[in-house]
Amino acid sequence: MRIAIAQINAIVGDIAGNAEKILHAVNKAVLAGADLIATPELALCGFPPKDLLLREDFLQSCHLMLQKIVHSIGDITLVIGHPHQDGGKLYNAASVIRAGKIVQTYHKKFLAQSPFFNEAYYFDEGHEDCVLDFDGLKLRIDIGVEALLHSNLNQPIRSKTTDIILFLNASAFRINKQATRYQDVQQFIKRSGVITIYVNLVGGQDGLVFDGASFAMNASGELVHQSQEFIEALDYIDISKKQPLNNNAPMSLLPSIAAVYQALCLGIKDYVHKNNFPGVLIGLSGGVDSALVLAIAVDALGAERVKTVMMPSQYTADISLADAREMTNRLGVAHIECGIEPLFGSYLSKMENDFAISAEQFNSTTMPENLQARIRGTLLMALSNHNGFIVLSTGNKSEIAVGYCTLYGDMAGGLAVLKDVTKTMVYQLCDYRNQISPIIPKRILDRAPSAELRPNQTDQDTLPPYEVLDAIIEAYVEKNFSLDEIAALHFDPEIVKRVIHLIHINEYKRHQAPAGIRVTCCDFENAWHYPITSRFKA
């Protein structure tokens, strides 16, 4: 038996386009002699469809397209994920199509309640298993990883009733996620003793990235197939005498930091492509964050679809201008320089003359610093209006966590590329990219980080060292540690208390931030759901 894994990049709502992609994979699989081809979870409509599932016209479009696909299937069995209405209920389903007919439709039994898609809100639970017979081999179909972990499956699935389990998935990327998938499947195989094939979606969808990385393990839990990460793939697994044949050594996975870099590239590429933007616009500062965003954008889209703008003020160092120029020259992107000092002076004059706020008064606050950022944000958005390019904001997770960013200033934009990337990881990603080719000037990496919004400013004037700040953010945001638990990790309790306070009082800013690309287990886009108004003290 030959099974084809169609690791496709589906677009939410592009039902006709997804169907065309699936049928193209079917035709290739037929030529390759495949007996069965499997697609990811909800491949027909894209994932996650969210409130599109509440629209009758959307569901009807899925149904009509499924019928067209049915009539196109001949000498192969297609397993396709799709939403399915039946008896006044809606299911996350997988239909088995063979010789122009739907022979079975499986309704997902264990619904996920993930932070980015609460299936129980949209779907009803199924109750029946789906087992196919292929020349004496019993193949069972399940949807999603929840079936692997559900307590009802603690009883072993005996190999007499099942030889192969096919899991259709739409599992989003995060750091070290593939290791977790391996562990879950191996634990499942330990209980069941059956061959397991894991088919995963690939592609960017809003702030989520699906990394593909589909794989297969034999009945002993050994990896026998590994699809490539972050690209579409059509791979084949041959099974003989109830064992998958390992025709090729399993492909090695990317190192962790390389996987994050590729996830960010795919996130930008698909966000721009799927939303029909002609390109991206980046405000350069001569600092490390905007340099990294520029590198990722060029790798994702090509230099011709990236434009940069440098907007110096009287506080901008000459080396910042020089470093930004050097990097844009290395990458060959269109670059504009536009000084904001005259505009900044006009705004300050307005504050003095029309609002009766003296220079001494406004210089005692952060208003002049924020004003510079907002002037830059306004100019970037004006250029975006002019040429249709989407603005990529460059703030990182460390800054966004504690509010070291300006609403309607450096937070302005359509996609926050580094929203889930801490400052320490920013440097790791830069080092990784420079190992491929040295495009980020070394001086950018060696200089102390600075917003350059007042004289001789550095980030550490107001923030703890980033290695301390990021460790506290990880412990509090990603691990839900308490103040005392974090302090017990040998951090100054007063610093911990201040960081936690900053995280919560800046919740209102994050609610107004652009979408960001998820790479950790707790991003501010999907997994962090704290109220703006709260008097709880950690």
Domains with residue ranges and CATH for the chain? 2-243 (3.60.110.10), 259-460 (3.40.50.620)
Question: How sure is the predictor about 151, in pLDDT bands with cuts at 50, 70 and 90?
Answer: very low
- pTM comes to 0.95
- Report which of residues 457 and 442 the model is more confident about: 442
Identify the pLDDT of residue 453.
78
Mean pLDDT across 187-203 = 93
Identify the pLDDT of residue 450.
82
- Report which of residues 263 and 146 the model is more confident about: 263
482: which 2 tokens? 């308490």
C-beta of residue 510 within 8 angstroms of C-beta of residue 524? yes
C-beta of residue 288 within 8 angstroms of C-beta of residue 323? no
C-beta of residue 287 within 8 angstroms of C-beta of residue 450? yes
Identify the pLDDT of residue 245.
61
**If phi over 0 gives left and psi between -120 and 50 gives alpha, with beta otherwise, what is residue 174?**
beta
- Report which of residues 150 and 417 the model is more confident about: 417
In DSSP terms, 166 is beta-bridged to: 141, 197
Question: How sure is the predictor about 148, in pLDDT bands with cuts at 50, 70 and 90?
Answer: confident
Which value, to the nearest 10 degrees, does the dihedral of the CA atoms of residues 373, 375, 379, 381 take?
A: 60
In what helix (H) or strand (E) does residue 328 lie, and over which residues does it extend?
A: helix 318-331
Interhelix angle 423-436/288-301, rounded to 10 degrees, is 50
Identify the pLDDT of residue 155.
52
In DSSP terms, 239 is beta-bridged to: 244
Three-state SS at 237 = strand
C-beta of residue 310 within 8 angstroms of C-beta of residue 334? no
One-character DSSP codes across 244-311 = EE--SPPPPPPPHHHHHHHHHHHHHHHHHHHTT-S-EEEEE-SSHHHHHHHHHHHHHH-GGGEEEEE-
Mean pLDDT across 320-325 = 95
Q: Is the dihedral of CA 399, 402, 406, 407 positive or negative?
A: positive
Identify the pLDDT of residue 160.
58
The residue whose two tokens read 């017990």 is 488
**Range from 144-148, 301-305, 415-419, 443-447 carrying the lowest mean pLDDT:** 144-148
Mean pLDDT across 226-237 = 96
Mean pLDDT across 361-380 = 92
- Rounded-to-integer distance, Cα 205 and Cα 67, Å: 26
- Rounded-to-integer distance, Cα 50 and Cα 92, Å: 12
Mean pLDDT across 451-480 = 89
Strand order in the sheet with 195-200: 131-134, 137-143, 164-169, 195-200, 215-217, 223-226
C-beta of residue 395 within 8 angstroms of C-beta of residue 405? yes
Question: How sure is the predictor about 460, in pLDDT bands with cuts at 50, 70 and 90?
Answer: confident
**Range from 151-160, 174-183, 261-270, 404-413 carrying the lowest mean pLDDT:** 151-160
Rounded to 5 degrees, φ, ψ at 457 are -85, 140
Distance of CA 9 to the CA centre of its chain: 13
Three-state SS at 5 = strand
The DSSP 8-state label assigned to residue 475 in this structure reads I
Question: How sure is the predictor about 520, in pLDDT bands with cuts at 50, 70 and 90?
Answer: very high
Q: What is the mean pLDDT of the chain?
A: 93
Mean pLDDT across 440-446 = 95
Identify the pLDDT of residue 461.
78
C-beta of residue 308 within 8 angstroms of C-beta of residue 294? yes
- Rounded-to-integer distance, Cα 459 and Cα 452, Å: 9
C-beta of residue 40 within 8 angstroms of C-beta of residue 200? yes
Identify the pLDDT of residue 153.
47
First-last CA distance in the chain: 57
**What is the biggest distance separating any 2 CA atoms in the chain, rounded to whole angstroms?**
87
Identify the pLDDT of residue 276.
97
CA of 355: how far to CAs of 49, 358, 409, in Å? 49, 9, 21
Provide the strand spans (E) within 352-493: 390-393, 415-416
CA of 29: how far to CAs of 22, 34, 35, 141, in Å? 10, 5, 8, 19
- 235-251 pLDDT tens trace: 999 988 666 665 556 67
C-beta of residue 104 within 8 angstroms of C-beta of residue 123? no
Instruction: Please give the share of the chain, as a percent, with pLDDT higher than 70.
Output: 96
Q: Is there a cis peptide before residue 49, judged by omega within 30 degrees of 0? A: no
Mean pLDDT across 149-158 = 52
C-beta of residue 521 within 8 angstroms of C-beta of residue 479? no
Mean pLDDT across 359-377 = 91
